[in-house]
Homo-oligomer: A and B are copies of this chain.
Amino acid sequence: MDTKDKLIEATGKLLWERGYAATSPKAIQKESGIGQGSMYHHFSGKKDLAIAAIERNSEMMRKEIELIFTEKTSPLNRIKNYLLREREILKGCPVGRLVYDPDIYSDEELLELLDNMFQWIMDKISMTLEESMKQNEIRNIKTTELSSTITATLQGSYVIARSKKKIEPFKDAIHGLLSLIKIMEEKGIQNER
């Protein structure tokens, strides 16, 4: 791994653990083992590093999630698999956690990177729900709304888990959502009669 990659990786790790405002250039140097001069040679500053790191984190997430949504199983199963995907629950969502960072929220360019990621996943979920409806797995619903609900529940599940430093509340919230989806599913089957 070259110098630039080391810097991006270290920045990504620290952004996930501590957010943007609380991550100092010095901390990035320490984490990556790269010196001051070298860091400022490759990147213009903290924001430049953050952009590279967020883009890299997002790309990794997209690839992982893409795998789940291209599996050969029913649309609804793909959504369930996404909800039950393995996660580092107490660390929170690497993207979602940055939304409350004051220095991110006040910077259009950085905030847009987060929005892009959320929109990408919500579109993915919406399209999968459309498929599910066509196959009569579930009853007709507004896919924009339900994909927002699914995304929001995931994001909020991280939040309440962190407040307790326990993973159980996360699982409770997800299983509650799965139960609601299950009811909607039975209802869809009924409609076929």
Binding site for B on A (CB under 8 A): 17-19, 21-22, 92, 95-97, 99-103, 105, 111, 114-115, 118-119, 122, 139, 141-142, 144-157, 159-160, 162-165, 169, 172-177, 179-181, 183-184, 186-187
Contact = CB atoms under 8 A, between A and B. Distances in A.
A148 B144 contact: no
A106 to B, nearest CB: 10
A172 to B, nearest CB: 4
5 contacts: A118-B160, A146-B176, A149-B176, A152-B173, A183-B184
Interface of A: prevailing SS: helix
Nearest to A164: B115
Given A92-B100, A153-B153, 11 more contacts: A18-B102, A19-B100, A118-B163, A119-B164, A145-B173, A146-B179, A151-B160, A152-B173, A155-B160, A156-B157, A187-B187
A114 to B, nearest CB: 5
A102 B145 contact: no
A138 to B, nearest CB: 10
Nearest to A188: B183
A176 B143 CA distance: 8
A180 to B, nearest CB: 4
Nearest to A103: B22
